[in-house]
Amino acid sequence: MPAGFISHSIEGNDFVIYTPRKIESPAPAILFLHGRGESGTDGIKQSAIGLGHAIRMRAADWPFIVIAPQKPDFDSLWPAHIERINQTLEFADANHKIDPHRRYITGLSQGGNGTFELATSLTWQFAAAAPVCGWITNPSSAAKLVNIPLWAFHGEVDQAVKVEESRKAIAAINAAGGKAKLTEYLGVGHNSWDNAYQNESLGAWFLTHSLD
């Protein structure tokens, strides 16, 4: 497969796969879930904000194959699109040599919610998760996350998704026996993703985790 951000479509399922120019084989991989504003059917917009932007700024920090599905409508949440995500993951597995022990999930805003809700619900098993300005919709989701390393990020003055949502999610996971952590950015609003993806060595943190 060619390097760079490549747009794909399977029967109306639009997604992007990013492949670095140089990548080990089998490769570590990240599932990235975008936010509300990147919804649509153009097949590429989801690579412009968040992780895709960070890769374009400093690709060396992200030695991963990145799979970025696109949900078609603005207001539905990612759990409504499990089949679409799984189809995307199956395509990635069929066309790339991906390390099953080093798969990771992250997303921002609606994608942060999707990361919390779907980290244990997809065909892939993830070695670590990183929800950005997200929230938990289903209270039972917290208990499912106790065995996955999880690092959340949130802006302290986020008006779109209040920081209390991440605080509650992390507290619930840890109360159930998990070891999740939260980084808050003082004075930062909804865009906590530039800090999370560009300033935290998140890619390196992912790579410290591997499934047995």
Q: Is residue 173 domain-resident?
A: no
Q: CA 36 to CA 16: how far, in whole Å?
A: 17
Find how far residue 89's CA is from the centre of its chain.
Answer: 13
Please tell me the predicted confidence (pLDDT) of residue 36: 98
| 154 belongs to a structural domain | no
Are the C-beta atoms of residues 34 and 46 closer than 8 Å to each other?
Answer: yes
Contacts (Cβ under 8 Å, ≥6 apart) of 41: 12, 14, 70, 72
> pTM, whole model, 2 decimals?
0.98
Q: What is the tally of structural domains in the chain?
A: 1
User: How does pLDDT run along the chain (212 residues), one tens digit per residue?
Assistant: 688 999 999 999 999 999 999 999 999 999 999 999 999 999 999 999 999 999 999 999 999 999 999 999 999 999 999 999 999 999 999 999 999 999 999 999 999 999 999 999 999 999 999 999 999 998 889 999 999 999 999 999 999 999 999 999 999 999 999 999 999 999 999 999 999 999 999 999 999 999 98
What is the distance between the alpha carbons of residues 207 and 142, in angstroms, rounded to a whole number? 23
Identify whether the C-beta of residue 179 lies closer than 8 Å to the C-beta of residue 95: no
Question: Does 120 fall in a domain?
Answer: yes
65 found inside a domain: yes
> H/E element holding 95?
helix 82-95
Q: Is residue 35 part of a domain?
A: yes
Q: Is residue 102 part of a domain?
A: yes
CATH label of the domain that carries residue 15: 3.40.50.1820
Q: Look up residue 15 and give its amino acid.
A: F
Residue 195 lies in a domain: yes
Domain that holds residue 46: 4-130+190-207
Q: Quick check: is 142 in a domain?
A: no
